[in-house]
Amino acid sequence: MNVFRILGDLSHLLAMILLLGKIWRSKCCAGISGKSQILFALVFTTRYLDLFTNFISIYNTVMKVVFLLCAYVTVYMIYGKFRKTFDSENDTFRLEFLLVPVIGLSFLENYSFTPLEILWTFSIYLESVAILPQLFMISKTGEAETITTHYLFFLGLYRALYLANWIRRYQTENFYDQIAVVSGVVQTIFYCDFFYLYVTKVLKGKKLSLPMPI
């Protein structure tokens, strides 16, 4: 554990709380990609199967349980409680374009050909692209609500902080996880353009808007 890991976890948790709070207060999930949330729930499910086999620390266990609960509550609110407000017409990203290559890569590139290890590897690869349906939805509608942009910012910040965490661990522990690092870099790259728009528009009180696709 180091400060970057802790800050990354807190940023991740804050992102999920912001999203849940937005949906609950407004009783509306317009502008939120249900497909991205399904992918994140799948990420946590396949990654945290070791909850039943491996105890690391109370902190680790509590965070895993909280992330799982937040992910599934979010999915329930989008497709269950507030499904009438869900913008399915714009949440049209084809999930098979992500799932098929991620599944294939998980079998080809992993540290150990065992069920738990393959599922863990699958979760790492999937997390790196799980935000794409949300970014696709924003590009399709041309805009995003301020609270949704805050959610995306803290989600991206979590990944950036984890990159710093891996650098720190390499310096202090000589630890290097190639699969996690490469996937984290890919995921952070997806957020770079959004970070620029967030700083230049949202932080100045403007609504994040994009040119509408032709």
Contacts of 164 (CB under 8 A, 6+ apart): 4, 8
Q: Is the pLDDT of residue 92 over 70?
A: yes
Q: Is the pLDDT of residue 201 over 90?
A: no
pLDDT band at 213 (very low <50, low <70, confident <90, very high): very low
d(CA 206, CA 141) in angstroms, rounded, equals 17
- Tell me the pLDDT of the chain averaged across its residues: 88
Q: Is the pLDDT of residue 176 over 70?
A: yes
Q: Is the pLDDT of residue 214 over 50?
A: no
* pLDDT tens digits, 33-42: 999 999 999 9
* pLDDT tens digits, 136-157: 888 887 777 777 888 888 998 9
Mean pLDDT, rounded, for 167-175: 89
d(CA 178, CA 70) in angstroms, rounded, equals 28
Q: What is the pTM of this model?
A: 0.88
Task: Work out the percent of the chain whose per-residue pLDDT is above 90.
Answer: 59
pLDDT given at position 138: 85
d(CA 54, CA 69) in angstroms, rounded, equals 19
Q: Is the pLDDT of residue 163 over 70?
A: yes
pLDDT given at position 185: 87
Mean pLDDT, rounded, for 187-195: 79
pLDDT given at position 192: 78
- Quick check: 34 and 86 in contact, CB under 8 A? yes
CA gyration radius for the chain? 17
Q: H or E element: which one contains 7? A: helix 3-26
* pLDDT tens digits, 55-88: 889 999 999 999 999 999 999 999 999 999 998 9
